[in-house]
Each structure stands twice: as structure tokens, then as C-alpha cells.
Structure 1
């Protein structure tokens, strides 16, 4: 198969979808790989490294997109919609439930889109979402601590405090991979931490692994309302796979928050779990509503591309190899990979996206004839 690796063009997105080592593996298995010139530079990977791995360096995005399968990191943005076509396999993060325009563009083009974030493994987890959730969760606390500084518009608090001065209160809504990693870093920095989640079993697990060093709360509206009033840093870490995130922190809760407190909503890729959140970029990451700093960067791991690229490719390469070898047959052989199918020849195949936009939808199994 001919595989294209275009350069990411989302604002300050420096990740790349395949490393030279991954390209070498693909080439050894008989595939041709077209890498757009400069695609890996943001992650410290030079064109020459890709050449030595067996890739062909192409000068334009159009040439990379002309492949049979394109592997990306982030969803296509508007300037890339023209590259979408019926005979193309696209393997990347899509997050369609938060992007109606992209969803329509993919359906109109007939492209077959396989989304990292809805692929499941045999254990029912999300193996291609996990590495970036780990990065984003750890970054959430890091950027939240930074934006608590007075010069950034925050309360002027050190997350861990100092002897004689109490630490900041961090509230994490969602106890999954993002929330767990956010809590781990916050506790490591000396903050007081509360995690809110719907699952009692998950809260028990977090209480056990952190040896009771954090406070756990069941996710109810009264509990969330009380928690946001205490928060110096609020991390939104809610995930409903493939679907829009529920709005758990509502507009009317904001005036009850402390002046200069910070919200980092990692769920912004899926529309956000904070009603007042909107997607921002690395070059303009924050805005203020009711004296609360909002951080809504939709590609947080792009700020640490060297770490993020290698972590992502570690997980995506085995799936890419299977798709390159067998095409859609790989999805028919693996029910978990089949769940990654979001669009196929003009048909929407992710029910959660259909629910989000009121669109007609079928299941991946029906579309694939399984």
C-alpha cells in the first residue's frame, strides 16, 4: 500500500504521525511511504532520517495526501478538506462529535475515516487514545499551575504552597486516564486534590492506588457545584468515547468560583465538560469569563511533540501495519478496530456522532458487512 504522512498544519501542532523507525517497519513489509518535507521537524526528526528509513520525501501536502492511506495525528482542518476523497483511507484522531463541518466534509467526500479515539482493545479500553490522554492529563496540571501565576491572570498561588501557607485545591472531574494523570502530577506538586467520578468502583481504585491521599466524590450536580467553589484549579477530564462531553460545570456555577481560579478542560476536543469552554490554540491559550481563567487548547500534547510523537506511534503502528496489509479486511477481523470506523463512502458509522448532530447513521459492523 502507498502510505502518506503529511505535515500537521493545526496551529503549533508539532507532532508527526510516524517516526523514522515506524516508516522503516512499514517499508520492510513492502509498503511505500510518502513523507511531506518537514513533517517531522517539530518533533526533532529530520527528512534525512526518513530517507534513510526508506521513505520518499515529497515537497507538497497534495502529494502526501495522494496516497492510498493517509496517517495523521490531528483531524483534517478546513484547508485539508479538499484532499479528502472516496478512495482514501484516513487513520487519525477525528473527534467528529465536536466538529460538524468536518463530519459533513468527510461524508460529502466519501472518505473512509478510522478514528484513533474510538478503537478498542480486547479489554474494552481505548489503546490509541490512552497515550495522549496520559500526556494531556499530566500537562493539565502543569499548565494549570502556570496560569495560576498572577502574571498569567491567575490567583497568584503556588500549587504546592510552602510551609505555613496552604497549597492550592485541585478539583479533577473525571477519574479516567486523563484525570488519574492530572491527579498524580498535582499530588506530586504538593496540591490538595479531589477527584469526582460517576463510577464508585473507579473511585475505590483511585483511593487504593493513591493510598487515601486524595479526596474522592461521586459525580452529582450538588457535589460538582460545591467542589467548583473550592477549586483553585479545575481540570475537566470527562470522556464519553466518540460522543460530545456532557456539560457538568454549567454557566451559572462560574460566579461562585474564586476570582483568578483556573479551568483546564481537556475534554475540549469533544466539546468540553465546562459550558463556557471554547477551543483555543497554543499561541492564544486562555480567555477569562467571570474572572475565571479558561484554558481550552484542543491539541495540548502538541506542545511536547517529542514525547507525544513517540508515545503515540508506539500504539498506532501495530494497527497501521494491519490496515496497510489487509485494508478494511483488518477491521472485519478485529471487532475493536472496527469500532474505529467513523465514516465510509459517504455513510456515517459512529452512532455517537449521529446522536450529536441528528444525522442518519449505521454501525461499523453493518457498513463492513460483518
Structure 2
């Protein structure tokens, strides 16, 4: 099979769909891999690295896209819609629930669009291709939050870890899944006061085994959210609903009651986010001030650490890529987890959660 790897076009997105080591594995399986020139440079991989692994370097996006199977990291942007083809397989993060225009274009062109974030292993509600980036994004959320709490960055000048004689900063995390757990690890390591709110009591019990008394674990309801958010120096949105937009948990009125110069980071902004006042930003312009609070809404946070993130992503995606390359569409029959990742196929919106978001696009 011919496999294309275009260079990412999202703002400061330096990750790449396949690493040279992944290319080597695919080459050993008898496939031809076409990598756009400089596609991996931001992650530390040169064209020569890809050539050494058996890839052919192509000069343009179109040459990489014009293949049976296209492997990316982020969703196609409007400038790339023209490359989408009938009977082509696209394997990447899509987050269609927050992007009607992309959803419509995928339906129109007839591409089989498989989303990393909805590949789901049965029986355990595991999202194997979302987890590695969730780990990275969760850890970065505190790292970036601490940075923008600095006065020179527009924050209120709070050191999360405090110092002897001065209270530590308070980190409130909405959601105790992978992102929330990893955010708490970093916040606790910095010495911050940490609260996690979640609606899953079993998950809260599990988090107690991880953190003990170092993290306050609260059941997520409106009263607890209101009390916690008002006192937060750093508020992290870590709410994921598979395939759907995240619910709004923090209203504009509640944001108004936060300390001036406090910081909000919503990791699920690519699914709509859970804070009313937060919208997507970019690595070039990551923050804005609203209601006196610094808002950070970069949807591709792991793109800030592409060397780490590309390899972590490939560790998880490669077995699925190999199966798609070896079997084509038959891979969807052979692997039920991969089949659950299909969002659009044969001009139809097929993923149940995305269908609920766009019922008028279901045919």
C-alpha cells in the first residue's frame, strides 16, 4: 500500500504522523511510504533519517496526500480539504464534534476517516490512541499554567509551590481521568494545593490510592465546583466525553468571581471545553484576558514537545497503522477497536456520538 505522511499545517504543530522507526517497520511489511520534505524536522527527524528508513521524500503536500492511506497527527485544515479523496483512508486526530465544516467535507468527499481519539478497546472503555497525548497534555497543563501565573505573563504572580511562610498556590482540576491525574502529579510535585473534582466515585477512590491526603478529592456538583473555582489560582479543565462536546461546568458568572490574574487551562478545548469563556487559541497566541482571568486554550498542546510526543504517539498508533496498511478496509473487520474509530465512511457520518452532535448530517 502507498502511505502518505504530510507535514502538519496547524499553528506550530511540530509533531509528525510517522517517525523514521515506524517507517522502517512499514517498509519491512512491504509498503511504500511517501513523506513530505521537512515533515519531521520540528520533531528532530531529518529527510535523511526517513530516506534511511526506506521512505521516499516528496516535495509537496499534494504528493503526500495523494495516497491510499494518509497518516497525520491533527485534523485537516481548510487548506487541505482539496486533498481529501474518495476511498482514501485518513488516520489522525479529528475531534469532529467541535468542527462541523470538517465533518461536512469528509462526508462530501467520501474519505474513510478514522479518528485516533475514538479508537476504543472493548470492555474497558480504554482509548489507547488518546491516552499518550492526554498524559502529555495533562502534564503540560500545569507547566503552562505555572508560566502564565507569572506577573510578566499577565498572571497574578503566584508561585504554585509557595515558599516557607507563604501559602502555596491552589490548583483545581475538573475531571479525574488521564489528563486530570497527570495534571495532579505535576501540581503535587510542584508543591501546590490540589483539588480534583469528578462525578465517578470509583475513580475518586482510585485516585486516593495514588495521592492519599496530598490531593483533596471531591464529588463534582455545582456547589463544590463553585466553591473550588472561586479560590483557584490555576483552574484546569480535564473533562472528556467520548466523541461529544464537553459540558459547560464553569459559567462566565463564576469566572468573574475568580481572583484577577488567575489562570484557566482547558485541555479539552478541541472538544469544545468545559469553561464558558474559553475558546481555542494557538501556540503563537496562546492566551487572552477575559473577566480579569488569563485563558489558555491551545488545542494541540503536545505539539510543544514534538520529539517526545511523536514517539509516544507512534508507540500506540503503529500497530493499527500496520494493520490498516496490510489489510486495508478489512482491518475494520479484523479489529473491533479500530472499527470504533471510524467517524465517516462511504459519504456517511457513522460514529454514534458525533451523530448525536450533528443529527441533520445523518443519512
Shared topology, TM-score over 0.5? Answer: yes
Q: Secondary structure at the match of 1:9?
A: coil
Q: Which residue of 1 aligns with 2:318?
A: 317
Q: Secondary structure at the match of 2:9?
A: coil
Q: Which residue of 1 aligns with 2:37?
A: 37
Q: Secondary structure at the match of 1:170?
A: strand
Q: Which residue of 2 aligns with 1:124?
A: 125
CA distance in 2, matches of 1:226, 1:352: 32
Q: Secondary structure at the match of 1:91?
A: strand
TM superposition shift of 1:212: 2.1
Q: Which residue of 1 aligns with 2:273?
A: 272
Q: Secondary structure at the match of 1:159?
A: coil
TM-score normalised to structure 1 length: 0.97
CA distance in 2, matches of 1:320, 1:170: 38
Q: Which residue of 2 aligns with 1:252?
A: 253
TM superposition shift of 1:298: 0.7
Q: Does 1:6 align with 2:9?
A: no
CA distance in 1, matches of 2:190, 2:329: 46
Give the stretch that moved more between structures: 246-255 or 27-36. Answer: 246-255
TM-score normalised to structure 2 length: 0.98
Q: Secondary structure at the match of 1:211?
A: helix
Q: Secondary structure at the match of 1:210?
A: helix
Q: Which residue of 1 aligns with 2:228?
A: 227
CA distance in 1, matches of 2:207, 2:329: 38
The aligned length equals: 362
Query: Which ranges in structure 2 are unaligned for 5 or more consecutive residues?
Result: none
CA distance in 2, matches of 1:16, 1:330: 23
Please list, as runs of the form range in 1=range in 2, the aligned pairs for 1:206-225 lying within 5 A after superposition.
206-225=207-226
Q: Does 1:200 align with 2:196?
A: no
Q: Does 1:306 align with 2:307?
A: yes
Q: Secondary structure at the match of 2:213?
A: coil
CA distance in 2, matches of 1:241, 1:359: 20
Q: Does 1:236 align with 2:237?
A: yes
Q: Which residue of 2 aligns with 1:344?
A: 345
Please list, as runs of the form range in 1=range in 2, the aligned pairs for 1:13-162 lying within 5 A after superposition.
13-122=13-122, 123-162=124-163
Residues 350 and 361, structure 1, Cα contact 8 Å, conserved in 2: no
Deviations 1:53-87 (A, max 9, x none): 11000000100000100000000001001001112
RMSD: 0.9
CA distance in 2, matches of 1:65, 1:17: 12
TM superposition shift of 1:252: 1.5
TM superposition shift of 1:357: 2.4
Residues 243 and 270, structure 1, Cα contact 8 Å, conserved in 2: yes
CA distance in 2, matches of 1:241, 1:317: 22
Query: Which ranges in structure 1 are unaligned for 5 or more consecutive residues?
Result: 363-370
TM superposition shift of 1:309: 0.3
CA distance in 2, matches of 1:171, 1:358: 35
TM superposition shift of 1:360: 4.2
CA distance in 2, matches of 1:23, 1:120: 24
Deviations 1:324-368 (A, max 9, x none): 111121111222111100000210011211221233437xxxxxx
TM superposition shift of 1:156: 0.3
